[in-house]
Structure 1
Amino acid sequence: MDPRTSGQDVLRCDHCEDNLAQMFCSLCPVNLCKLCVGEHVTDISKKHDVLPLNLRKSMIVYPLCKIHSREHCETHCEDCNIPVCSRCVNSDKHKRHFFTSLQDLLNVKKKSIEKEKKRLQETVISTFEEMASDFKSQLVGVDEQYEKLTSDVTKDGEERHREIDIIIQKTKDEIQEMRSKHKNTLNKHLNEIEKLIFDVKESLSEIEDILQSNEVLKSLSYEIRSDKFIKLPPKVNVKPPVFTPSKTQGQFLNLFGSLSHLSMTTEKHVFTMHSSEAVSSPKVKPLLEVPKLIASIKTEYSELYNVTCLSDEELFTSGNDNVMNIYDPQGKLLKPIQTKSGKNPFGIAVTRSRDLVYTDPDAKTINIVKKKNIQEVIRLQGWRPYNVCSTSCGDLLVFMSCEDKQKSKLVRYSNFSKKQSIKYDDQLKPLYSYGELKYICENKNLDICVSDYGAKAVVVVNQEGKFRFRYTGHPSTKTEIFNPMGITTDSQAHILIADYMNNRIHILDQDSQFLCYIVNCDLYFPWGLSVDTRDNLFVAEFGGKLKKIQYML
């Protein structure tokens, strides 16, 4: 058998296609036998780096520069977000730009992909397989349950007069229809789960290919997609109907029993994390009966509007100034950042990659702060952006109002491209009032919470923008006007709302149930709110103070 046409062929030279490959050129890249090395390197139109074949897997295949075709890119320009070669780095085009080693980016990306692989293997696919097994188990007993049901009906029918045979047959037909609907429902959900399992396996296969590959762009272009698998479809419980024989003597129709309805219910289904992922499931924390004021910080602002936690050790703030300040929890000013336009910012947020984002209503722009540079990432026409929130999946939620002073909406941006617009409820009535004083946060259950000062309400919609509930204050205080300003959420999916004029903070659960107030801690016109990873609450007071409060154990 010709080894070149067999499935067990060894690696051969890409030039002569006959001899065994003993070398490879990492820059071309091709496999070479020793006889063809000389001929290969005589091509002076390209650079060459010929190495023994056993070093091939350890070599990184850098992409070729799009401008200098003979150069390989080993650096990434942060400002332009592209790979660049050494000649590009020193060019005027990239003057004063920030650069990162592609090797470092590759290492970080590979770790992220490894984590994704582990997550899919240990948690996602096993959960889907468990759900599929559950549907299969339900299917096994369906025929037996319905056969018994049919038998019970038949037995009862035989004890009745022939005049009711037509009713018996009608009931049997209903049973068959319910059986079909029951099985179709289970099969439908089983098919959905098996499709998800197939998709996960395809993702794992793609990940394996990337992890085995040394191509930088192949890894860098991979988009993390496990988040879309984490939101599980509902767990469907279908119960067969129950036949109840008639015990009533009298009217003809009452001589025969009746069927209950086919019972179908859904319950929320969540992933059971393996031990390696158990840290991501927050433990239950009780609320303190009396919250504690931990620290009170006097900031540089005469009016303080916003605070958001950049980390547990850094607080990003803004107020009536064109400078945004970063403080540590002890009140030390770590870094001032002046806005690009010189105008005051309105809303601020921190992305998953810890970049700072702020809105500039006057310039109609959303801007991102990367190291020392401020980049305009979104410019609006006819709309002014006010508050902004960064979501768990990396999207931006931006609240904006039309310049005609009639319309407001909430817009989701993914990679700075418009993805979703939320304006109306199911009756096509506006969800939000017109005006700038709106604060946004995303809850742990992916609900979007907006405090609407103009409407004196908090409006909550789900991830798809469907209305869930509206909170207008606790019923016991209806004589007081609810003045919602800042809003935030914590690890328990509590919703915390600053009640500006009443000097208190409302705490709700994720389904709008009022839990308690924070009314002490010397609160004075609380405006902006943020919670760190330890569930410490930071309150930006209108008068310029920043307060740290412990409200959970």
Structure 2
Amino acid sequence: MHVENSLTHYCIPCDETVCCACVSSRHAQHQTADLVEYIKQKKIDISKHKIQIAAEHLPQLTKELEVLKQAKEVYQISADKVTSKAQERAELMKQVIDLVLDSQLSEIQKVKDRDLDTFIFRENEICFQIEDMKKIVADENGGENAESESDFNIISAEREMKQKLESFSISERSRPLPPKFIQGIDDMIPEISRLLGKVERVGEIDGGVTQRKSAAEVKVQIMNTVSCAKPGHKVTSICQTSSNDVIVAYNTQKSIDFIDRNGRKLKAKKLQFETQDITMNKKGDLFLTVNDSSLIYKMKTPGNPTQLYNGGPYKALGLCAQKNGNLAAALWKQEEGIIAIINSGGKLTETISYDRTGNKLFKKPYRICENSNGDLIVTDSALKTVTGVDPRRHRRFQYNGGTEAKNFIPIGVACDSSARIIVSNWKGNSVHLLTSDGEFFRFILSSRENVTYPHALSIDSLHRLWIAQKEKVVIVKYLK
């Protein structure tokens, strides 16, 4: 135990205050600083960092706001046009309905007039028959005093009378029935909808989420396919150089290849080791992790690699050259994973392993990249997640593959100029596009496009995506 007043120094890698005795003993190999001076410097650094972040983001945010306002105006105009079209369509339908109604009413009137004429004709006919009946009755009443007729005449007269009486009856079927108007009330709404038309949302705001889209629903153009190695070898890393070329590394051969933006091999550089991952900073310094090793190397191009850092007992996996000049390294041993922040001199300055609640962030962090908003994006092949850690080292999000959660092993990761995140799903044979908040946006490629075991990812200066698939690399244009 230390007396509180004796804690005069601060150990940066351990993130704790220490006494003078500990500085010269168990913290002797660590970077330490006077506690008061460290706090003062930390305040200054935080203030500078805030100013730097504000200076970097204000122009971009202002520009984005202006673009958004313009997009809003265009959207409003388009939406108003759709409203006008719907209203015009409804007005046209009213006019058509009026014309159809006039035609139907005219037809009904014709049928009505014809049937009423039939009724009048039958009425007149019956009136004439009534008069005949009255005459017959009168004749019969007057025949009581007439001379007796022969039997034959009587029978003939009876037959004639019977026929006349039968002809006086009117069949029900001879009477016209009024016309009917059959209205399909139950079908009225879908019928009108089919006539009027329908409203569809056919676009989406760039960077926003409307609905999940498959790769088949979005046009993705495969620009080129580069065969980088012999069958049996595997591309494990791709990085963009400061000269806009691309470097490809392998974990099965002791060399790296320099390739131009058109996919042509420029040269090869032999190494003394097989490579796990590579990254390059703004100065053009190349950093490499040795496959199945704890060593991290730094190499000037041209030049030979020199050891920068030994992460033992951890094995070094993924690397990311940060904008501030530091190097973020994904380190792993057994069931434990950390992100180590290493300065340009090769000294450990910070480790990231727990969130604010004390839960472990990583199990096997495999690849890492830095987003334009300062987040560190880490794929974890053991947890089968993609984790976003903000500049304050808080867990911002964790993505588990969305609809492919049961078939999701994330490997490669990259961030584009719009702060969107691209992840290769090695097991699901797909490439996911996420928002900066770690939400699924759409698929870039899937097994339908014959993607097989996508691994390393990189975005070049033309905003094209390079995707490693075993011994080859596919160059894809995925932005509109």
Q: Distance in 1 between matches of 2:292 and 2:408?
A: 29
Shift of 1:228: 5.2
Deviations along 1:500-529, whole A, 9 cap, x unmatched?
122111111011221100225432211000
1:484 equivalent to 2:410? Answer: yes
Q: Distance in 2 between matches of 1:530 and 1:422?
A: 24
Q: Distance in 1 between matches of 2:342 and 2:318?
A: 13
Distance 1:372 1:282, change over 3 A: farther
Q: Distance in 2 between matches of 1:551 and 1:324?
A: 26
1:379 equivalent to 2:332? Answer: no
> What is the correspondence of 1:354-373 to structure 2 with a 5 Å cutoff?
354-362=284-292, 364-370=294-300, 371-373=302-304
Q: Which residue of 1 aligns with 2:53?
A: 231
> What is the correspondence of 1:215-230 to structure 2 with a 5 Å cutoff?
229-230=51-52
> What is the correspondence of 1:503-522 to structure 2 with a 5 Å cutoff?
503-518=429-444, 519=446, 521-522=449-450
Shift of 1:293: 0.3
One-letter identity of the residue aligned with 1:378: Y
Q: Which residue of 1 aligns with 2:234?
A: 303
Shift of 1:347: 1.3
Q: Which residue of 1 aligns with 2:393?
A: 465
1:498 equivalent to 2:424? Answer: yes
Q: Greater relative contact order: 1 or 2 (C-alpha under 8 angstroms, separation 6 or more)?
A: 2
One-letter identity of the residue aligned with 1:389: C
Q: Which residue of 1 aligns with 2:462?
A: 534
> What is the correspondence of 1:440-451 to structure 2 with a 5 Å cutoff?
440-451=368-379
Distance 1:484 1:406, change over 3 A: closer
Q: Distance in 2 between matches of 1:321 and 1:438?
A: 20
Q: Does structure 2 retain, via aligned residues, the 8 Å contact 1:227–1:393? A: no
Distance 1:226 1:424, change over 3 A: closer
Shift of 1:432: 0.8
Shift of 1:296: 0.6
Q: Does structure 1 retain, via aligned residues, the 8 Å contact 2:289–2:316? A: yes
Q: Does structure 2 retain, via aligned residues, the 8 Å contact 1:299–1:331? A: no
Q: Does structure 2 retain, via aligned residues, the 8 Å contact 1:292–1:551? A: yes
Q: Distance in 1 between matches of 2:404 and 2:264?
A: 39
* C-alpha RMSD over aligned residues: 3.1
1:327 equivalent to 2:244? Answer: no
Q: Which residue of 2 aligns with 1:549?
A: 476
Q: Distance in 1 between matches of 2:462 and 2:374?
A: 20
Shift of 1:314: 1.2
One-letter identity of the residue aligned with 1:452: D
SS at match of 1:431: coil
Q: Distance in 2 between matches of 1:274 and 1:428?
A: 34
> What is the correspondence of 1:275-294 to structure 2 with a 5 Å cutoff?
286=206, 289-294=218-223
One-letter identity of the residue aligned with 2:474: K
> What is the correspondence of 1:87-486 to structure 2 with a 5 Å cutoff?
229-232=51-54, 270-272=57-59, 286=206, 289-301=218-230, 302-311=233-242, 313-319=244-250, 320-339=252-271, 342-362=272-292, 364-370=294-300, 371-402=302-333, 405-415=334-344, 416-433=346-363, 435=364, 438-474=366-402, 476-478=403-405, 480-486=406-412
Q: If each structure's helix is expressed as a fraction of its own residues, which one has the higher value?
A: 2
Shift of 1:286: 4.2
Deviations along 1:145-182, whole A, 9 cap, x unmatched?
xxxxxxxxxxxxxxxxxxxxxxxxxxxxxxxxxxxxxx
Shift of 1:385: 1.3
Shift of 1:442: 0.6
Distance 1:526 1:477, change over 3 A: closer
Q: Distance in 1 between matches of 2:336 and 2:409?
A: 21
Q: Distance in 1 between matches of 2:421 and 2:298?
A: 27
Q: Does structure 1 retain, via aligned residues, the 8 Å contact 2:244–2:460? A: no
Q: How many residues align?
A: 285
Q: Does structure 2 retain, via aligned residues, the 8 Å contact 1:282–1:491? A: no
One-letter identity of the residue aligned with 1:494: R
SS at match of 1:346: strand
Deviations along 1:68-127, whole A, 9 cap, x unmatched?
xxxxxxxxxxxxxxxxxxxxxxxxxxxxxxxxxxxxxxxxxxxxxxxxxxxxxxxxxxxx
Q: Does structure 1 retain, via aligned residues, the 8 Å contact 2:276–2:292? A: no
SS at match of 1:230: helix
Q: Distance in 2 between matches of 1:450 and 1:273?
A: 25
Gaps of 5+ in 1: 1-198, 201-224, 234-268
Q: Does structure 2 retain, via aligned residues, the 8 Å contact 1:312–1:533? A: no
Shift of 1:308: 1.2
Q: Distance in 1 between matches of 2:60 and 2:457?
A: 31
SS at match of 2:51: helix
Q: Which residue of 1 aligns with 2:166?
A: none
Q: Does structure 1 retain, via aligned residues, the 8 Å contact 2:399–2:438? A: yes
Q: Distance in 1 between matches of 2:450 and 2:61?
A: 43
Q: Does structure 2 retain, via aligned residues, the 8 Å contact 1:291–1:549? A: yes
Distance 1:406 1:514, change over 3 A: closer
Q: Which residue of 2 aligns with 1:523?
A: 451
Q: Distance in 1 between matches of 2:298 and 2:321?
A: 12
Q: Distance in 2 between matches of 1:282 and 1:504?
A: 32
Larger radius of gyration: 2
Q: Does structure 1 retain, via aligned residues, the 8 Å contact 2:464–2:475? A: yes
Shift of 1:363: 5.0
Q: Which residue of 1 aligns with 2:201?
A: none
Q: Distance in 1 between matches of 2:238 and 2:59?
A: 34
Q: Distance in 1 between matches of 2:367 and 2:340?
A: 13
Q: Distance in 2 between matches of 1:443 and 1:389?
A: 11
